[in-house]
Structure 1
Amino acid sequence: MLVRFLVFIGSATALLLGMVAPWTKTPAIVSLSFGLAALGVGVLMRAGQISFGHALYACISGYAVAFLARAWPELDALALIIGGTSASLCVGAVVGLFVVRYRGIFFGMLNLAVCMVLYSLIGKLYTWTGGTDGLRIVRPHLAGVEFDRNEFETALLVLSLLLSIGLGWLVQRYFRSASGEAMAGIKTNETRLEYLGLSPRRILWQGYMLSVALVGLSGALFALIQGLVTPDMGSWLRSGEYVFIIILGGAGHAFGAFLGATVFEIVKLYAGAYMTGIWQMLLGSTLILVILAAPDGIVGLMSRRKATSTPPTTKEARWNRWFARKG
């Protein structure tokens, strides 16, 4: 109930601020896109695996959107989002077959290695990718309607909110499903899954594909709101930001990714404006404080406070309250 209330308040606040202060729409969409990417990383953390190279799929999706928009200028933004996400899924299906064989630091570093190979190629292949200058994306139609910049940002914000709420709910359902519990089993006791006749590699590959889809969707949204794609979308620093966000918000609940992304974007925005020289230090200090105060992230801290503030509802507790009233 608390999460639903926070989601409602957050969505209403984002829309209201977008109408009152139009400049807030871009940071809001970027925050939602980062939240989707962090949620993808959080899916893998469910299995105890951390990827330091998942920005690879946001970058692939972003460049796929740029290539499609240049080749077919009449394509709708929805088609571009689907095309970009599909491109990242195709690459992720192949890469995932190899990386799911490994665990721990080897899993994380192998993802990082693949990511950095693509990052280097994009910077070198100037003829196709524009090198470090990147590629510009002309603002497309959205749902068959041609918008000006302000209207396009509003429509994209609404679309991002709907996608974030819907996918967040689906991922949370996935966490509670048999497949999600099997993913958690990889973290706790992988051998037991094999005794049950389940394939840990197959389970992890399925989770990996879900993770890739979320990060790919994030890259497509980010490319559309920025109107520009650059190799920095696939840098290891961007992958680190995704990990930072999910640790900050908490991987125990899907809402944690979006809460962490919101805090991250707010701190980054205002620290960059008023503390230009030390904004990285402020972000790092924020993460350290959260880890010390709430190892399970902001969502974990909220859950613990709710648990301590909620009175017991067991049969014994009800009898104790009844006797207390009678006494």
Structure 2
Amino acid sequence: MIRDLDKTELALLVGVPVLIAFGFILPQWVVNYIQVSLGTGLVALGVMIQMRAGLVSFGQGLYFCIGGYTAGMAGKFLGVSDFIVLILLGLLASLLVSAVLGILIRRYREIFFAMLTLAISMILFGMLSSSEELGSTDGFNLLPPTYLGWAPKSEIAGHVLYIATVLPVTFCAFLLNRFLRSPIGFVNEAIRENELRVEYLGTSAHTAVHITYMIAAAVSSIGGVLWALSLGHVDPEMTNWTTSGQFVFIAILSGTGSIIAPLVGTFLLEILRVYAVDISPNTWQMILGTVMLLIIIFLPKGLWSLVERKRNRKNSHQSDLSANVLGE
């Protein structure tokens, strides 16, 4: 079975114990940023798999917010706090919404797709901001999570939640990697290059886009649940255009070459923001913008292209050695 795993999947499996070990070794503030970035990293993954089809979603915060608010409302109104149940509820809510909205959105491409997703997410932002029952612009707090009826003591609750965050994120990343290697994953790449030829070959581009949109919504909602539980709070800013823009920023910063890239890129962005705010509290956005500009100019395929370049050089060097041996 291990032979069927590619390098990305092996790296994900190796990364699980490494990340869990980090939770006990690294300073708590670093662990907190890793935990938060794992949740937002899933949303960036949702953006990334759509970019593989040539689609850029500026409204992915919609499903990030749906996941978080579903978990929050389940606790606020129903008293549900079980970790697994909250994830399942967030997943179900996102699938229902994306199944309906996907019927409309799957017909659009390029700037029209981007603006339509943005418009829908801002509708939810307006609704939540004016809802007094849900805390209006301030949002509300979540109940501490439980695990199949077990409520860990406060001394270990943070470690348990951290481990519980690592596992579903790794599992989702593993499944998304398989999705990109599936027929629909390859169809998405063909849609990005020439959608008309895809239709001529007898494959429905609308169906492929709709499925991809729903999968991106599902992982984004899981990320929203994990993020909300990590912070213990939700508010309408989760679906604001600035939040959705951050996920696009991460996808561009990281590149679309690997499932691992957005997860790493999310953490790097969190650390960059921390130091940018510390260096220049009033103009930290300029630092992020400058970094973004430099990456677009010098690394148009994202930070992961550095890994690919190193891998290509290694393969080229091995090919040259083999050619020299055969020549002798």
Q: TM-score, normalised by structure 2?
A: 0.91
Pairwise CA distance, 1:263 = 0.8
Give the alignment of 1:238-277 within 5 angstroms.
238-277=243-282
1:318 and 2:319 are equivalent in the alignment: no
Structure 2 CA distance for aligned equivalents of residues 163 and 26 of structure 1 = 17
Secondary structure at 2:169 match in 1: helix
Per the alignment, residue 293 of structure 2 pairs with 288
Structure 1 CA distance for aligned equivalents of residues 297 and 36 of structure 2 = 27
Structure 2 CA distance for aligned equivalents of residues 131 and 233 of structure 1 = 13
Residues paired across the two proteins, number:
322
Per the alignment, residue 121 of structure 2 pairs with 115
Per the alignment, residue 35 of structure 2 pairs with 29
Give the alignment of 1:169-180 within 5 angstroms.
169-180=174-185
Structure 2 CA distance for aligned equivalents of residues 8 and 263 of structure 1 = 20
Deviations 1:122-173 (A, max 9, x none): 11121x2110111111212124321234522212221222222222222122
Give the alignment of 1:1-327 within 5 angstroms.
4=10, 8=14, 12=18, 15-126=21-132, 128-311=133-316, 318-324=322-328
Secondary structure at 2:303 match in 1: helix
Structure 2 CA distance for aligned equivalents of residues 256 and 35 of structure 1 = 9
Moved over 6 A (4+): none
Structure 1 CA distance for aligned equivalents of residues 192 and 302 of structure 2 = 19
**Any gaps of 5 or more consecutive residues in structure 2?**
1-5
Deviations 1:17-45 (A, max 9, x none): 54442233321111111110000001110
Pairwise CA distance, 1:13 = 5.5
Structure 1 CA distance for aligned equivalents of residues 292 and 114 of structure 2 = 20
Secondary structure at 1:189 match in 2: helix
Structure 2 CA distance for aligned equivalents of residues 9 and 278 of structure 1 = 35
Structure 2 CA distance for aligned equivalents of residues 11 and 48 of structure 1 = 34
Pairwise CA distance, 1:189 = 1.0
Secondary structure at 1:310 match in 2: helix
Letter in 2 for 1:196: L
Structure 2 CA distance for aligned equivalents of residues 6 and 195 of structure 1 = 37
Question: Contact conserved, 1:36 with 1:217, CA < 8 A, in 2?
Answer: yes
Letter in 2 for 1:65: A
Deviations 1:190-229 (A, max 9, x none): 1111111111100100000110011111111111111111
Taking a change above 3 Å as real, the CA distance of residues 117 and 221 of structure 1, as seen in their structure-2 partners, is: same
Deviations 1:101-122 (A, max 9, x none): 1110000000001111110111
Structure 1 CA distance for aligned equivalents of residues 53 and 169 of structure 2 = 22
Taking a change above 3 Å as real, the CA distance of residues 226 and 150 of structure 1, as seen in their structure-2 partners, is: farther
Secondary structure at 1:216 match in 2: helix
Question: Contact conserved, 2:296 with 2:302, CA < 8 A, in 1?
Answer: yes
Structure 1 CA distance for aligned equivalents of residues 321 and 270 of structure 2 = 44
Taking a change above 3 Å as real, the CA distance of residues 274 and 10 of structure 1, as seen in their structure-2 partners, is: farther
Taking a change above 3 Å as real, the CA distance of residues 286 and 8 of structure 1, as seen in their structure-2 partners, is: farther
Structure 2 CA distance for aligned equivalents of residues 175 and 73 of structure 1 = 38
Q: Percent identity over the alignment?
A: 33
Structure 1 CA distance for aligned equivalents of residues 12 and 225 of structure 2 = 26
Structure 1 CA distance for aligned equivalents of residues 312 and 82 of structure 2 = 47
Q: Which moved further from structure 2: 66-75 or 132-141? A: 66-75
CA RMSD of aligned residues (A): 2.2
Structure 1 CA distance for aligned equivalents of residues 11 and 176 of structure 2 = 18
Structure 1 CA distance for aligned equivalents of residues 56 and 326 of structure 2 = 49
**Any gaps of 5 or more consecutive residues in structure 1?**
none
Letter in 2 for 1:107: F
Per the alignment, residue 3 of structure 2 pairs with none
Deviations 1:37-92 (A, max 9, x none): 00000111011010101101111111111111122325412111111121122111
Pairwise CA distance, 1:278 = 2.4
Letter in 2 for 1:60: I
Structure 1 CA distance for aligned equivalents of residues 149 and 16 of structure 2 = 28
